[in-house]
Each structure stands twice: as C-alpha cells, then as structure tokens.
C-alpha cells in the first residue's frame, strides 16, 4: 500500500512539473509538448488494455486449449510449455494482507495519513474560490491550476482512504494466511510476445486505416470537382466543334453518368479592394451545373440558380428607384435615422452584372460576399489603337461553395455558359467536355470507344480532340499517395518483426529452461519432429492470441475515432480525422502476423529437436 501511495504522489508531481514548465513556453512548443504527452498516455493505455484483453482471451480459451492439447501429443507438449506451471497467491489473499498491514500500522502513522488527506481536501476547497484560482492561473497557467486541483483530489482521496481504513477497522485480528493457486496463465516471456504482436497489429490497423481514410477523402474530393474523363482540343485555342452532338454521343456510352461540354479559361480576378488572384473559370449552363455532383451540397451562401437570374442579386430598392415626386419616400421623423440616405440608386441596365460562383477561400482572399461586384481580366483581349489590350468584365457574386480542397476553393469559379462564351469570344462553341462514370476505375475502358467516336463520320472532319483520364491528370499525386501507403506499411511492419524477435528470444529461453522436460519426453519415446511440432504449436498460439487481441483492439479504436470524430487543429483543411477500414487489408495483416510468428519458431524448434536425452538429463 505504501508503494502505491508513493507511485500516486510521484506521478502527480511529475505531471505538475510538466505543466509548470509549459507555463512560459511558446504556443507551438506547448502544442507539441501536450501532443507528445497525450500520445505517451495513449500508448500506455493501449499496452494496459492489450495486456488485460490478452489475459481475458487466455482465461476464456484456456479450457478449449486443454481439450485441443489432449488430441495430439505434439499439441500437449506445446500447450504445457506455453503455460506457467508455478503457484501464486490469489488476489483476494493479497488484498486481505494489504488491508491487514494498513490496520497494523501505528496510530501516529494512520493519523498522519488522515491529516495529509484532509489538508489536500481543504486545499481543494480553498482553490474553489474564483479569486484564488484566477491568481494561480495568472501566475502560472490555467492548465496548471486545473491539474493541481485534480492532483490534490487524487492524492488527498488516496491518503484519506488509507488513513480512515486504518483508524476505523480494528487491529486485533491475526495476519491472514496466504492462499495459493495453480497459475493458469502463460509464461512472462510468452505473454510479452503476445502483447507485442497485439500492439503491432493495433498500430498497423489504426495507422493504415487513417492513411487510407486520408487518401479516400482526398480522392473523393478530387473526383467530385474534377471529371473522370476530359475531352479537349489539341490546340490551346481550339474548340470541340459540334459539342451538342459530342455530348449526346458520350452520354450514350455504357456506364457514363454525366457528360457536359462547357467553356474553360484562365483569368485574373480582382475585387473592389484591389486584391487580384489568378483563377480558372468554368462557364456551364445553369441546369447542367445544378444536376452535376461538382457543387452538390457544397453551396454555403447564395445559390447556383443565380447564374440564370442575375437580377436576383440586386436589391429591389436598387432596381426600382423612386423616379417621380408622388412616389418620393416620406421624410424621416425628427430623431429617426434615415437608413436609405446613402443607398446608391442604380437605374442603368449595366448595373445588373452576370453572376459568378466562387470558392470560400477565394471569397475570403478577395474579401467579398454574395452580391458584391468582381472584375475578371483576360490578358489576351481586344486589339486597341495601342495594340493588344486586356479584356475586362464585371460580375456579381451569386454563390460561395466549399469543396474541402484548398486549391479548388481558392482557384476555381463558375459563371453562366453564355457569359463565358461572350467573354472568351467563343460564340456558340465550347472548348472542354467532362464526363463522369459509375465506376471511376473503369474509365480507361471507355477511351477506345471514344476514339472510335472521333473516327466516325460526324466528327472526323472536326477539330482534333484528345482524351485524358483522372489517373493521367493526377498521376504524380496518386503515385505519391500509393508510395506513402507502401512506406507506412513497411515501417509499421517492423513493429511486428520486432515482436517476432521477442518470440525467438522467449522460445530460446524456453528451450534452455525446459531442457530436462524435453529430455524426459524424448526418453519416453517422443521423436525430434514431434518436439519440433510442439514448439511450432507455441508459435501458432502466440500468433493466434496476438491476432485475437490486436485485431479487435485496432478495429475498436478505428470505430471509436469514426464515432467520436477526432477533431484536428484549425491549420489543417480537414475538420476531423478520416478513417476507413478495409476488411481485406485487416485479414492480410492477421495472416501475415501469424506467418511471422510461425517463422520465428523455426530456429528454437530445431534447437529443441536436436537436443539429446542424455545431455538434457545430465545438464538439465
């Protein structure tokens, strides 16, 4: 009991010292220190939970293992060597003896423990006053004040409980006799090997599930904004030709869910505040954009339908000003504020500008909201008296979208198809066609069919067109993600490899420890292959219990993260940590761990099989 109290006090002092050192640190240092401490606590919790879960699995499957071991002599050898044959004191006996030691302490020591506990509790009550708590928080830090209260409650509660138990309970009873029991658990080296395999599987499943979730989230955002298939002319300034017929032909292909031709161009966008940003503008029809998944459930302000109704963006009092004396607005009463005094009444048709839909990051950078005016500038515009001059047009923000990808939210904007055709001087032509299919991975199968459409008579005489898939346009990104996944798998696989080294060392120690037993078995007629298979049984049991502990622990951790939604800092563009489990991967991880455990038993099993009975009985 004294050791337990000393451990509680030591842990509390270390935690208080940690937060006291962070009191004057920079925010970045404080964040990394707290994150490191949280990861350390998580690792400790995982080790404890894995150990408890392993003990539970051993207790549940112990009787099943006994029946399994009786069916074959090699299984019997492995099962007996796997489990500890020693006796130990029961936990009830240990608890009774601990309570007896507390009751047998001198009265002064029990009174001292009780007094220390009461002082800690009084200190907690003293800190409850807002002025005192704020004084400690201002002098050190608010986190230190909170941790100090928690530490005082834990230390005071522990000391008060031990002291009161010693004072209240009588001390006349004799010391109880310890009761022993036969240990049914595995040996300590084997238990450490099982926990090592379980933690390796847990880390492998959780980390790769997070990596898979990040990749899936990124891929989904890319495919929602970018099409699976893009058709465009070979020449930079070319057009599609008969875009309506091409749309119909692509949409008629099997598996195509969506096909829309539009106008795309790069411009410079500026706000009334003088901020300018390079932007890619897509000119699409209002109905096509409304039925496309590009901005589905992504509009955070305004509406897609503002593209077809730009006059909605101008308030009625701006579009219908007072023009006659009989309709003049009444003068405000004395003391009343004239809210319409500074409103600029527009009466020109040019004031109703075409609508534009911008990303949330672009709107923030330009400092605009729905209804504000923007200007887009094309460098290769009209030819004036002094030569080539840029082309400029005014638009009004009709909506703001959020895709979840910073690049798209900052560099992408949508306008109406006719407005884009007028601005880029395409007439009725279009220069890009995007298509989306039901299964993105099968998009390459459509490329030969599209090439056949280009070679057919309606499109043969038209402009030269090229087709590209999303894998080709994002090849570097997807290759980097795949490489990252492979590297993470290799790095985390070394954890299981280290656990296999623990298995090798524990089984080699077991061979040295069980020399006499192995010699007796061989003297009674057990063959070398039988002894070797017995040690293979030990490796299979270690792998089985490691998988039985690590896989549910890893899946449970991922489910908890998915259910709770682990929040990320604001500097990340993802609000919560995405996690995605893959049943095939989890099965492969479990089989790989079992294979590594079996391979780790080859050397110890050969060493045990090569042992001669006479040498084992002589030196055992």
342: three-class secondary structure by DSSP: coil
pLDDT number for residue 381: 61
Judge whether 378 and 424 are in contact, CB under 8 Å: yes
* pLDDT score of 337 more than 50: no
* pLDDT score of 415 more than 80: yes
- Cβ burial 318-332 (10 Å sphere, 16+ → b, else e): beeeeeeeeeeeeee
Quote the tokens at residue 173: 């009873």
* pLDDT score of 327 more than 50: no
Give pLDDT tens digits for 569-600.
666 667 777 888 888 888 888 888 888 888 87
What is the spatial distance between Cα 95 and Cα 89, in angstroms, rounded to a whole number?
10
User: Residue written as tokens 């150990």?
Assistant: 51
Judge whether 120 and 16 are in contact, CB under 8 Å: no
pLDDT number for residue 386: 62
* pLDDT score of 325 more than 60: no
Q: Helices in 71-106 by DSSP H: which ranges?
A: 73-82, 91-103
Q: Which residues pair with 416 in a beta bridge?
A: 284
More reliable by pLDDT, 196 or 68: 196
Q: What is the mean predicted confidence (pLDDT) over 248-259?
A: 86
Rounded-to-10 torsion of CA 289, 294, 296, 299: -90
> How many CB atoms within 10 Å of residue 158?
21
Give pLDDT tens digits for 120-177.
888 888 888 888 878 877 777 777 788 788 888 888 888 888 777 777 766 656 666 6
More reliable by pLDDT, 342 or 44: 44
pLDDT number for residue 176: 63
Write the DSSP assignment of 159-187 as a string of letters.
HHHHHHHHHHS-S-SPPPPPPEEE--SBP
* pLDDT score of 341 more than 70: no
Sign of the CA dihedral 160, 166, 169, 174? positive
β-bridge pairing 355-359 and 391-401: parallel
> How many CB atoms within 10 Å of residue 265?
19
pLDDT number for residue 340: 38
For residue 327, give Cα distances in angstroms to 320, 321, 323, 324.
11, 10, 7, 5
Distance of CA 77 to the CA centre of its chain: 45
User: Residue written as tokens 């002098």?
Assistant: 139
> How many CB atoms within 10 Å of residue 13?
12
pLDDT number for residue 342: 43
Q: Is 227 left (phi over 0), alpha (psi -120 to 50) or beta?
A: beta
Query: Which are the contacts of 455, defined by CB distance < 8 A and separation ≥ 6?
Result: none
What is the spatial distance between Cα 506 and Cα 81, in angstroms, rounded to a whole number?
11
Quote the tokens at residue 292: 């496309």
Provide the CB-side half-sphere exposure for 201 (13 A, CA).
34
Average confidence score pLDDT of the chain: 77
Distance of CA 350 to the CA centre of its chain: 50
Q: What is the mean predicted confidence (pLDDT) over 19-45?
A: 73
Residue 454, phi then psi, degrees to nearest 5? -65, -30
Give pLDDT tens digits for 101-115.
766 777 777 788 788
Give pLDDT tens digits for 65-103.
667 777 777 777 777 777 665 666 666 777 777 777 766
Residue 326 confidence class, pLDDT cut points 50, 70, 90:
very low
Residue 134, phi then psi, degrees to nearest 5? -65, -35
68: three-class secondary structure by DSSP: helix
* pLDDT score of 204 more than 80: yes
């Amino acid at each position: 009991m004294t050791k337990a109290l000393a451990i509680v006090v030591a842990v509390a002092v270390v935690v208080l010292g940690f937060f006291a050192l962070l009191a004057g640190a920079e925010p970045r240092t404080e964040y990394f220190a707290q994150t490191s401490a949280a990861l350390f606590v998580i690792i400790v919790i995982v080790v404890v939970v894995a150990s408890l879960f392993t003990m539970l699995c051993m207790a549940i499957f112990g009787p099943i293992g006994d029946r399994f071991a009786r069916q074959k002599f090699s299984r019997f050898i492995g099962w007996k060597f796997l489990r500890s044959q020693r006796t130990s004191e029961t936990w009830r006996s240990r608890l009774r003896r601990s309570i007896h030691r507390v009751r047998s302490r001198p009265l002064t020591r029990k009174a001292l423990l009780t007094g220390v506990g009461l002082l800690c509790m009084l200190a907690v009550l003293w800190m409850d006053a807002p002025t005192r708590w704020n004084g400690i928080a201002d002098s050190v830090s608010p986190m230190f004040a909170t941790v100090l209260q928690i530490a005082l409650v834990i230390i005071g509660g522990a000391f008060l409980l031990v002291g009161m138990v010693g004072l209240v309970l009588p001390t006349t009873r004799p010391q109880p006799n310890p009761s022993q029991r036969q240990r049914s658990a595995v040996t300590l080296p084997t238990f450490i090997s099982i926990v090592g395999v379980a933690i390796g599987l847990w880390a492998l499943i959780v980390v790769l599930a997070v990596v898979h979730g990040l990749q899936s989230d990124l891929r989904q955002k890319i495919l929602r904004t970018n099409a699976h298939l893009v058709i465009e002319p070979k020449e930079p300034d070319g057009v599609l030709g008969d875009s309506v017929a091409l749309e119909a032909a692509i949409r008629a292909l099997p598996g195509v869910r969506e096909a829309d031709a539009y106008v795309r161009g790069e411009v410079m966008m500026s706000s009334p505040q003088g901020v300018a940003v390079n932007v890619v503008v897509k000119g699409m029809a209002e109905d096509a954009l409304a039925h496309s998944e590009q901005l589905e459930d992504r509009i955070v302000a305004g509406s897609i339908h503002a593209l077809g109704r730009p006059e909605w963006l101008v308030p009625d009092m701006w579009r219908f000003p007072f023009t006659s004396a009989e309709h003049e607005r009444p003068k405000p009463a004395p003391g009343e504020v004239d809210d319409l005094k500074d409103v600029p009444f527009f009466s020109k048709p040019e004031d109703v500008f075409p609508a534009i839909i911008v990303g949330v990051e672009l709107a923030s950078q330009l400092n605009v909201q729905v209804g504000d005016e923007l200007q887009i500038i094309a460098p290769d515009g009209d030819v004036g008296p002094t030569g080539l001059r840029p082309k400029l047009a005014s638009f009004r923000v009709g909506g703001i979208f959020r895709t979840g990808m910073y690049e798209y939210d900052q560099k992408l904007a949508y306008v109406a198809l006719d407005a884009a055709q007028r601005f880029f001087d395409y007439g009725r032509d279009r220069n890009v066609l995007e298509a989306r299919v039901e299964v993105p991975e099968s998009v390459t199968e459509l490329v030969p069919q599209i090439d056949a459409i280009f070679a057919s008579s309606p499109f043969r005489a038209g402009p030269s067109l090229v087709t590209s898939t999303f894998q080709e346009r994002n090849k570097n990104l997807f290759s980097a993600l795949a490489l990252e996944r492979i590297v993470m798998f290799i790095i985390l696989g070394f954890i299981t490899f280290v656990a296999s080294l623990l298995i090798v060392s524990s089984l080699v120690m077991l061979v040295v420890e069980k020399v006499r037993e192995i010699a007796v078995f061989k003297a009674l007629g057990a063959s070398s292959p039988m002894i070797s298979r017995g040690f293979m049984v030990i490796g299979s049991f270690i792998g089985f219990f490691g998988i039985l502990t690590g896989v549910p622990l890893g899946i449970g951790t991922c489910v908890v993260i998915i259910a709770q939604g682990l929040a990320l800092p604001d500097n990340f563009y993802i609000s919560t940590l995405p996690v995605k489990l893959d049943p095939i991967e989890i099965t492969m991880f479990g089989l790989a761990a079992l294979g590594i455990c079996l391979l780790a038993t080859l050397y110890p099993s050969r060493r045990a099989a090569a042992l001669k009975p006479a040498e084992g009985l002589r030196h055992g």
